[in-house]
Every structure is written in C-alpha cells, then in structure tokens.
Amino acid sequence: MSSGSGSSRVPRRGFLAVGAALTAVVTLSACGAKTDAAGSSSDKAAKIDVSGDTVKVGLLNSLSGTMAISEVTVRDSLKLAIDEINASGGVLGKKIKPISEDGASDWPTFAEKAQKLIKEDGVAATFGCWTSASRKAVKPVFEKNKSLLFYPVQYEGLEQSPYIFYTGATTNQQIVPALDYLKSKGLKKLYLVGSDYVFPRTANKEIKAYAKANGMTILGEDYAPLGSTEFSTIANKVKASKADAVFNTLNGDSNVAFFKEYKSAGLTAKSMPVVSVSIAEEEVKSIGTQYLAGQLTAWNYYQTTTGAANAKFVKAYKAKYGQDKPTSDPMEAAYTSVYLWKAMVEKAKSFDPEKVKAASDGITFDAPEGTVTVDGATQHVYKTARIGEIGTDGQIKEVWNSGKPVKPDPFLKGYSWASGLS
C-alpha cells in the first residue's frame, strides 16, 4: 500500500478523459441501419477465399456431446466424398480443403462456429448440422451472410431457407409414405412416442392431421426428455392402449431403453409393430437386434439398397473407416450433398452462392440411394421413399419403396389434410 495519496487523483482524471472519449465513440457508432432500412444488405455477402489452388468448405458437426455418436459418422462420410472429389481433380480446378468445427451438441455453439467458418475462414459452403434445433440456430447466420449450408438429415419440414439446401427427406418423403404403408396394411390405431423436442412434436402434429383425414385413430401421445432412459410407464401405457402399431420419433439413447421395456412388456413386432424414423444401421448396432428384429423403419436409403453406386460407396466407406462400420441414410445424404454442390458449382462456373443457387435446379447425381434431383424452387431433393424391416443380422431389408423419387413438398401443400399446419 505504498502508493501515496497524491497518485489517487491522476487516474481519476484519466478515467474522466477516457469516459469522454468513449461517449464520443459510442455516439459515433450509434448510426447503424434501422430494421426497416431497405436495400442495405447488398455488400454484406461473405467473402469466399478462393486464393491459391484450394477452396475451403466447412464441416459443422457435433464431435462431442450427446449427438457426437451420430454426427461423427456424417463428418466421416463428408470427408470421404471430399477425398474422392480431390482425387479426381477437385472442383473448378481447385482442391477442396475441409475445415471441421465442433458444434458440441450445443445450439448456440453451432451458431458461433458457423459465423467463424463464414467470416474468418471464408468457406464456399458448409456441410452439416443434425438436429432441427441446431439448424434453426445457424439458419439466420447463413441468411445474414448469404452463405450456403447443405443439411443432410431428414427433418420435420415446414422450412425453406434461401441459403439452405436440404438433402435429407422432408415429411412427404418419409413420414407420409410410412403412414400410407401402415394404412395399406390395415394398421389404423396408432400410438405416438417421441423425444421431447421440435422434430417429434412437429412430426406428431402432422401425423395427427393425417390420421384425422384418413380414418386412423391416435390412441396416445407421449414424450420423453432427450436422453431419458425411463420407459416402463410409457411401455405399459402403449400395451394397455391395444394399438395396432407405434409410431416412434425417439432419438438417440432413449431408443435402447424404450425397446428393452417394449420387449419386457411382452410386445413384439408381430403383436404391435413399431415404425421408427430415427433408427438407422448405426443405431441398430447399438440397440441390439434381439430387441429390434422384425420392426420397421422409414428412410430413403439402406446399406442394402441395390445398385452400383451404393456398392461403390459402401466399399469405399468400409475401406477408409473399417469393415465393421455400417453406412446409413444421413451419411448417404451427406455424401451426396458434396457431389451435388460440386455439380452446381461446375454448372455455375463459380463459387458465388447466388450463382450456385441459380444453377441448382435440375442438378442430378447418381447417388447410392439412386438418382437424386435438386428441386430449385424448394432447394430440397427428389428422393425415393423406402420402408425397411430390421433383420437379425443388423441390416435393414427393404419391404416397400415409392417406385420413383418423390417430389419434395416441405410445406405439404399438395395434401389437403395439412392445410391447417402452416
């Protein structure tokens, strides 16, 4: 405490001067655009770094947290596609340089990392996100910076951002065909079980609207928190309801507990089949085929899907990441999304997002799931719907498909029963 009393005044004066300067700075900076200012956004597009012989793309996936188990496989699949493209000469003569960021299963972190990829790294496009919540968090970031996101996972529809390409299924390419399938089999009394977040709640709203218009009844609707493992009550309620089938929108670990309780309640795939929309090959492995054999899933791709493109994809994936690693629908959609972007860029002859978007309509790719086509109006993709039955070997066997790729209809405009939904 040796500082004398004399020194106490100097800093105070200094502080006042600083304060005055700050007031000036703040006043000066207080003249930004108002919300209603029109046409102020022309020069805000993010700068894409195309210097040198590489072009950067962002990979935005959860590499830690509860979603990591699923999203890491998507990241691996994206890298496979990038490696393949680089090996065959890259895009517009430039090699793709992936920059991977961890969204950490935390939605605001996704938004932060998206900003970093766009503003600091100058990526030409970003691939990733899994949960709807993470997509909703990054959507304004991509829109404000006029940068592109390729989103590879099936989702609940009712969205169409001008800066997002949706390469997974929307509702009418997955959930509606699954309901059609149940109806055709005479399974008309349904019980809905889902995780408590946006996708299941919105999907169930759509399912209820469908049921009402198609003479089906919904006997019950239950939600469990994400990550919950307590399902004895729900399994008993399902059993007591005497439903024909269960529509399952549970995500992640909860499926393990749910199917165990389902079996111990005495319910089987014969007595009351479960249709799941979030269980793919990777999840089948972790839940166990003793609980899942005979149950149904709805996707657009299975590892068993026939065709040369898929044989090549499965072989390349296993060669790179291990023979025991299965391939799944979101992985396939992610892999496909990189090739679709490449085709759009080559058609546009530019990495500029606006030109890429303009070139997107009608772009096709011979994907592992079959030929997919980009619908420029919705920025979704024509996809074939497939219902599969889980086998004892952990593979999913297709039991029905839509025959041809289904036109994406994210707002379900072509379905009269859905008129009140959006």
Residues that bind other proteins (CB under 8 A): 1-5, 7-8, 11-12, 14-15, 18-19, 21-22, 25-26, 29-35, 37, 40-41, 44, 63-64, 100-102, 104, 106-109, 111-113, 115-116, 119-120, 131-133, 136-137, 139-141, 144, 158, 196-198, 201-202, 205, 223, 225-226, 422
Two tokens, residue 305: 């899907």
Nearer to other proteins by Cβ, of 80 and 396: the residue is 80
Question: To 10 degrees, what angle do helices 232-241 and 254-264 make?
Answer: 50
**Is 189 in a helix, a strand, or coil?**
strand
Rounded to the nearest whole angstrom, what is the least distance from the CB of residue 2 to other proteins in the complex? 8
Nearer to other proteins by Cβ, of 36 and 88: the residue is 36
Which residue in 308, 241, 251 sits closest to 272, CA to CA?
A: 241
Nearer to other proteins by Cβ, of 211 and 284: the residue is 211
Rounded to the nearest whole angstrom, what is the least distance from the CB of residue 74 to other proteins in the complex? 14
Nearer to other proteins by Cβ, of 195 and 384: the residue is 195
Rounded to the nearest whole angstrom, what is the least distance from the CB of residue 196 to other proteins in the complex? 6
Asked if 14 and 22 touch (Cβ cutoff 8 Å), the reply is no
Rounded to the nearest whole angstrom, what is the least distance from the CB of residue 205 to other proteins in the complex? 8
CA distances from 337 to 152, 331, 334, 376 (A): 7, 10, 5, 14
CB neighbour list of residue 96: distance below 8 Å, 6 or more residues apart: 54, 55, 56, 57, 82, 85, 86, 90
d(CA 274, CA 259): 9
Nearer to other proteins by Cβ, of 32 and 93: the residue is 32
Nearer to other proteins by Cβ, of 71 and 389: the residue is 71
Asked if 304 and 283 touch (Cβ cutoff 8 Å), the reply is no
Rounded to the nearest whole angstrom, what is the least distance from the CB of residue 68 to other proteins in the complex? 9
Rounded to the nearest whole angstrom, what is the least distance from the CB of residue 225 to other proteins in the complex? 6
**Is 4 in a helix, a strand, or coil?**
coil
Q: Report the run of H or E that residue 126 belongs to, with start and end.
A: strand 126-128
